[in-house]
Structure 1
């Protein structure tokens, strides 16, 4: 069972992150069903792993702390609700050791993404895409940060693969 978990957890996590990035790019939304999918994967990984209550408590605390901080940013209009939920469930998956790296990579990736979108939008990429990709539409007041979060999450998981084992 442990061997299947070693394959299932990273695949579940990476698939969820990829779908989140694609949804945010195309629709500027991260569906709640996808957040529940990632949450269910974390619960499944925790269930199939050897008991580690302290680790589970630390992961939960980190996820809740990120959720709380993200809700404050959401209340000010600085972050989207889907982005907040995605970041919180991702922190739950990765735990306290990998979350600082996740946050740093997300900030760096978000900066690069914003610059790329400014350039693409100024060059008229939205017209070329036929306005099918919401991230390329004007105005520049919204950035699909789910792309940066997902890319940072996958990078953090690759840098610390042990973070995805919940035991």
Structure 2
């Protein structure tokens, strides 16, 4: 049961955030709250040391501070900031978090360039009423960065501490 939560919750939240951000340019508050709540329940049950749990929470607090400042300066959406912080809690301070941030930044840059190119094309006008593409075609619209965060999270999650624990448990059976 515990392994199932680890295998399902984080990936589901990443996919949900990407789709939600694509469709509505928002990431609901329930997503980072679910990520944080499930982590707080699951981590102690896996035998993770309290110091390590504290370091995971510190990673989230650090990223929330940085991303909230970016949000306040207009450089990032509020949902993106909360999602990054909640994802950081699952990754912890260490290489998985660095990989997550790097992969998300690379995909975010590629996504931004692709959207800018799309917005200057004839296709943007034609697809402006399409429910999947309308947010990509708005000149004044931002970039649904939840897509990049979702991809970054899915690609780097297998190296996160909880996922490694769950994989070891399955291998031992």
Q: Which TM bucket (shorter chain)?
A: 0.7 to 0.9
How many residues are treated as equivalent by the alignment? Answer: 163
SS at match of 1:74: helix
Q: Does 2:139 correspond to 1:142?
A: no
Bigger Rg over Cα: 2
For 1:16 and 1:10, the matched residues in 2 are separated by: 11
Q: Could you tell me which residue of structure 1 aligns to residue 15 of structure 2?
A: 18
| Runs of 5+ unmatched residues, structure 1 | none
Q: 1:29 to 1:21 in 2, by over 3 A?
A: same
Quote the offset at 1:163 in angstroms: 4.4
By how many angstroms is 1:20 displaced? 0.4
Question: What's the offset of the Cα at 1:6?
Answer: 2.3
Is the 2:118–2:124 Cα contact (8 Å) retained in structure 1?
Answer: yes
Report the TM-score when normalising by structure 2. 0.85
Moved over 3 A (4+): 161-167
**Which one of 7, 10, 30 corresponds to residue 4 of structure 2?**
7
Normalising by structure 1, we get a TM-score of 0.88
